[in-house]
Amino acid sequence: MNRPDKESPVEDWVRHVKRSLRGMMNGPVSASMRSKGQTYKVNFGVELPRLREMAEELPHTFSLATALWTESIRECRLLAGMLMPPEEFSANDAELWIDSMKETEEAECTSMFLLSRLRDASSKVFEWMASNVELRQLCGFLTVGHLLKKGFRFTDRDAQEFLDQTESGLQDSAYRVRRAAQNALLLYMNQGETESANGERILERLKL
């Protein structure tokens, strides 16, 4: 079938995406992911760089991103975060997506391509980092890491809260949370002498 046009209903675009993914399927990668416990109904094993290329050719619309997020297909859910226009994605939408996340890869991809681009990202991350829900907490540390990579700087008050949350995250039982917290702390420490000294005190206290 031909590629849908911009006037085509979102259902046609979803079918187009699924057909394209089927043609890109990487069987060994798909099998490896399934063997590691990924819970998707369908996993085509398409690598992230190829998904990023695919996203460049697709409409970046709220309706398509939302439709793809509802699919139990790994690649559809990763594409959703790449296609969602940040300016149309509300704080409530972010909460709903985070609550419905299934895998670490979803948290990583959505934080990179969507959550870190939201207008209120710099305030929402504190709520997420403080959560006792693992994937929500992970999104907080991943998102703040991406903000710091882009040059974001905390106010003095927010910096102290970030340091408190990070020290707590570094003691979390979940490895993926600890790793994300440590990466965020190292990015913060690269911002200057004061930031480096603040981070070093935490690392020394925790003997890291």
For the chain, give every domain's residue range.
1-84, 103-208
What per-residue confidence (pLDDT) applies to 1? 54
Query: Which tokens in the block code for residue 202?
Result: 């935490």
What per-residue confidence (pLDDT) applies to 36? 81
Q: Which residues, at least 6 apart from 180, have a Cβ–Cβ distance to it below 8 Å?
A: 138, 141, 142, 145, 169
Query: What would the mean pLDDT of 19-48 be, rounded to a whole number?
Result: 89
pLDDT tens column, 185-204: 999 999 999 999 999 999 99
Q: Per-residue DSSP letters for 101-140?
A: --SHHHHHHHHHHTGGGSTTHHHHHHHHHT-SSHHHHHHH
What per-residue confidence (pLDDT) applies to 35? 80
The separation between CA 186 and the C-alpha centre of its own chain, rounded to angstroms, equals: 19
Tell me the β-bridge partners of 73: 42
Q: Which of 3-12, 57-66, 131-140 has the lowest mean pLDDT?
A: 3-12
pLDDT tens column, 80-115: 999 999 999 999 999 999 999 999 999 999 999 999
Q: Which residues, at least 6 apart from 75, have a Cβ–Cβ distance to it below 8 Å?
A: 21, 43, 44, 46, 51
pLDDT higher than 60, residue 207: yes
What per-residue confidence (pLDDT) applies to 6? 78
Strand (E) or helix (H) holding 142 = helix 134-149
pLDDT higher than 90, residue 34: no
Angular region, 71: left φ>0, alpha ψ -120 to 50, beta rest: beta
Q: Report the interhelical angle of 74-83 vs 48-56 (nearest 10°).
A: 50
pLDDT higher than 90, residue 144: yes
Tokens 């300016």, residue?
87
